[in-house]
Chain A
Amino acid sequence: MTQSGSPISAADVAKVARLARLDINDAQIEHFTEQLGKVMAHFADIDALNLDGVVPMTQPYPLVNVMREDIEMPTLDTDEVLAAAPAAEERRFRVPPIIGIEG
């Protein structure tokens, strides 16, 4: 909780945007802080629930590892896949430098 009582602060939103790789500006941070604050205020309704001993439910059905025979199956066409990429070179995806240029 922030000092104002809002469930999420502008600093939280800025941090989350960074984690989610969304380059948003200060005006957007302010806008999202207000909207997300309203949504998260609603989430307080589950605070009063006693959930001791309840097993978390991640899926409607228990998932089991699905195996298949190790046989050759058709895969996606490399040229077709690379044709949809923003940049490709020598049958690979081309990206800008990974080791940062600190700004």
Chain B
Amino acid sequence: MSAVPTTASAIAAAIASKQISAREVIDSYLAQIAARESDIHAFNLVMADSARAQADAIDADIAAGRPVGPLAGVPIALKDNMCTRGVETTCSSKILEGWKPPYDATVVTKLREAGAIVVGKTNLDEFAMGSSTENSAFGATRNPLDTSRVPGGSSGGSAAAVAAGFAPVSLGSDTGGSIRQPAAMCGVVGVKPTYGRVSRYGLVAYASSLDQIGPFATTVADAALITEAIAGHDVHDSTSIPQDVPSFVAAAAQGVKGMRIGRVTDLPEGAEPEVQARLDAAFAALEAAGATIVDVQLPSLSYALTAYYLIAPAEASSNLARFDGVRFGLRVNAADTNAMYGATRAAGFGDEVQRRIMLGTYALSAGYYDAYYGKALKVRRIIAEDFNRAYESVDAILTPTSPVVAFKFGDKVDDPMSMYLCDIYTIPTNLAGHPGMSVPFGTGAHGLPVGIQVLAPALGEEAMFRVGGALEAAAGGAQ
């Protein structure tokens, strides 16, 4: 048995050219899961049997000379808020424990058609609400780089799975930073595409005007490859954009010569000094690679946190109304339906989900709607306009992904506001609907990884991947 490659692109190439079998690849990843999963808890469910069966089917196709998909045999982990037909999908919530969806999410269909093999469903903060994966009803995920620390969140299981070598790539969802922030804390690449670039059909909704699915990977090229595989218009999602998907893989290798990169001069403070130092180094690296650094202002950015924590909970309070014990999931029996709803939802939702539902219900309630929700929507507009003005003079913007490196368990879990501040640099882009990615760029305090965030205008993924690829090349060269 030859050595198993570590990237999705190399795995697909090796399997297609018969240098290695899909079964050898999946067995190698399942062995790594068996060795370390009890320490990490990246998964809610490992799908070993179906993964092996799918690998054998791919090997049979290749042996018989039948055509296989471009990702044939590539193992991939899915955040457990994406529907998989007949396979438990829990959102790490007691209210959905044991639920088997009657359909596949569009991203799952696309990945299967491309030949990728789903290895399991990964842990998350319940309903994707959180920044540490501590809000999972099934226990926290540990950071593979230091198991006394959180992996970030909410897609902490998907980030940890890639960082621990349980899969070369995974999918997460990002509503306010839930892909980019855990990517930064686990030292992997994470991408939130433009809102509408990837279908949300079959993604259990948290905040529908902000949610977007995207990949985790160990390289920018792999992240580009998976983004291409899942992107594109879908008739099942009325907000999906009817636009062709360009080659992001080509963009990732293109370099930044001639690009204008924005440095935000009025960025909200709060980044650790080591994080700030890595950002400065990133600008220097891009300048050395042929880009021009241009100062830009985003004066409304400091209001993004307030706008987000009004808009996202408002949408969540509406979306999560469907969990009422009638059609799926948990039911706590009671004498009438109204009592059944209240008892089911109180027993089924964890603290953070209940907090956000109440916050959203309050922001939308009579007498408060204009003062809270209505105002937040106007703040959202001025933040988006700030970005659009900045993108008149730059092609991409660089910020830290997270103000802090991975923190210890329990540090922030009882202080919602300090947890929310972890997302201060990632939230604005969700409000605007623009793409963003996090690229590992050296280390900060305690030798833990620091992620640099690359932002680009709507449908500007090619510019984003160009900058991401250049940062990765510079980080590799410096190590």
Which chain A residues have a beta carbon within 8 Å of chain B's beta carbons? 8, 12-13, 16-17, 19-24, 32, 35-36, 38-40, 42-43, 45-46, 49, 51, 54-61, 63, 66, 68, 76-77, 80-81, 83-87, 93, 95-101, 103
Contacts and interface: CB of A to CB of B under 8 A. Distances in A.
Contacts of B372: 43
Given A60-B209, A68-B235, A36 B355 contact: yes
8 contacts: A13-B358, A21-B341, A22-B346, A22-B357, A39-B309, A39-B355, A46-B303, A84-B101
B326 A99 contact: no
B32 interface: no
A39 B420 contact: yes
Contacts of B374: 56
Interface stretch (B35-43, B150-158, B246-254, B376-384): B376-384
Q: Could you tell me the dominant secondary structure of chain A's interface residues?
A: loop
Task: Give the top 7 A-B pairs by smallest Cβ distance, nearest first.
Answer: A60-B433, A56-B377, A86-B331, A23-B342, A57-B381, A54-B378, A80-B102
A56 B378 contact: yes
A12 B431 CA distance: 28
B346 A24 contact: yes
Contact of B358 (A22, A46, A86, A95): A22
Contacts of A87: 331
Q: Which of A12, A17, A19, A96 is packed against the most chain B CB atoms within 10 Å?
A: A96
Nearest to A87: B331
B358 A21 contact: no
B102 A77 contact: yes
Nearest to A68: B235
Contacts of A80: 102
A95 B338 CA distance: 10
B416 interface: yes
A56 B381 contact: yes
Interface in B433-449: 433-434
Contacts of B303: 45-46, 49
A54 B382 contact: yes
A60 B196 contact: yes
Given A22-B346, A60-B432, A97-B336, 10 more contacts: A13-B358, A20-B361, A22-B358, A46-B306, A51-B378, A55-B378, A57-B431, A60-B434, A84-B101, A98-B336
Given A16-B358, A76-B102, A85-B326, A45 B416 contact: no
Interface residues of B, number: 71
Contacts of B376: 46
Given A21-B341, A22-B345, A60-B196, A96 B433 contact: no
A57 B377 contact: yes
Given A46-B376, A57-B381, A76-B102, A98 B327 contact: no
B309 A84 contact: no
Contacts of A49: 303, 379, 382
Q: Which of A23, A36, A76 is packed against the most chain B CB atoms within 10 Å?
A: A23
Contacts of A46: 303, 306-307, 375-376, 379
Contact of B362 (A16, A77, A101): A16
A27 B328 CA distance: 29
Contact of B309 (A20, A43, A95, A103): A43
Interface in B74-119: 99-103
A97 to B, nearest CB: 5
Interface string B389-420: 00000000000000000000000000111001
B102 A38 contact: no
A61 B343 CA distance: 38
